[in-house]
Structure 1
Amino acid sequence: MAQYFEIHPDNPQPRLINRAADIVRNGGVIIYPTDTCYALGCQIGEKSAMERIRQIRRLDDKHPFTLICRDLSDISTYARIDNQDYRLLKSLTPGAYTFVYEATKQVPRRLLHPKRRAIGIRVPDTPIARALLGELGQPLLTTTLILPGDTQPLNDTYEMREQLAHCVDLIIDGGHCGNLPTTVIDMTGDMPQVLRIGKGDASLFTAALDA
């Protein structure tokens, strides 16, 4: 049965953040709020936890995961970013974007698409997620909390407890955070490609493509 923490969305209680980080370090799967919607997360190198997330969402091995990072220094560890892109990311993070880049060797192969060595990365603009990432000292492997058959992320923590209490180790209730996922931008080609329009303003990238 999952533990349940009510954490203040603006002033996260350090005691609860520490306990949440311990659950992740011990191989747990958590539900936590971001600046876009609720997400499932686990430690990067925890294969069994990653498989549990796949089972919850019924994902195949081609579905991309995202690394949610504390800051740009984390991003540069896991993704190959040139100076021009670094300046772009600096202007748009933290924020509601996921950027897809070629992965570095620091990213375990099992997190990547079988035919493509790329990884989604993002820096959230929300105190709970950033406090948790700071306590962990490394990114979280994450994916949006969309249940099989649904078209929108689950955002009611009561429903999460009803449906997922036996599937995860912790549910963090950080209040309402919406149900619109990130805007996803593929940065692996010559030009940025908008893969999904979400909460982040995609006009900068669509304008570049239309020019």
Structure 2
Amino acid sequence: MSTLLKTDSGSGMSKEFTSSVPNLVSENFNDCITSLKVIGEPWVAYEHTNFQGSQYVYEEGEYATLDRNNAFSSLEKVTDDLTNPQITLYEHTNYRGRSLVFTTETNLCYGNFNDVASSHKVQRGAWVLYEHINRSGAQLVARASRDMPEYGWFNDRVSHLRPLKTSDFQLLQAQGCPSFHPRTRLTLPSRRHGRCGGKGFPGLEWRRSWTKRAAWCR
């Protein structure tokens, strides 16, 4: 699968990436993102370089406003298989105490596990854990390859969780139609004034491009 990350400074310059970006400073695009558009797999924006600090998840779609403006220093592409998601939350650190298994989005305030979880294991997919109900507050991304035995500052704060959605390309694969590869794009226009010198291109055109490999899916 070909995944493309495209960034625009708003001053006529753009950058494209095919993998995660651990340091936007080296790309001259640090702390200046104010809107974005994602086509394809989800991306995680981080407050600091090397995928550290506060996390913000963006799935396929257009975001004219962001959770935080001018605050991202690294970007990570989510490459996990997002089909049939499952996560286990544990009451205590190191996967101890009571546990609950989830396969769908859940508002924990309606049960007895709200503000209780202190660790987790992801069996399948990728999940977003939220500090507050209705997908609000601080976020913690949970992935199958990264079990977390201790939450630290996020301990006893999880009130809502949901699995990340499957992209159009993964849906095609699940339907037995791997004939096309999408070029996943993420556009990051920056502010009009300041270090990055621009806000973005009004009317910037977006379109999904598919690379034909064999035959049209019927």
Relative to the length of structure 2, the TM-score reads 0.28
More strand by share: 2
Structure in which a larger fraction of residues adopt helix = 1
Larger radius of gyration: 2
Relative CO higher for 1 or 2, CA cutoff 8 Å, sep ≥ 6?
Answer: 1
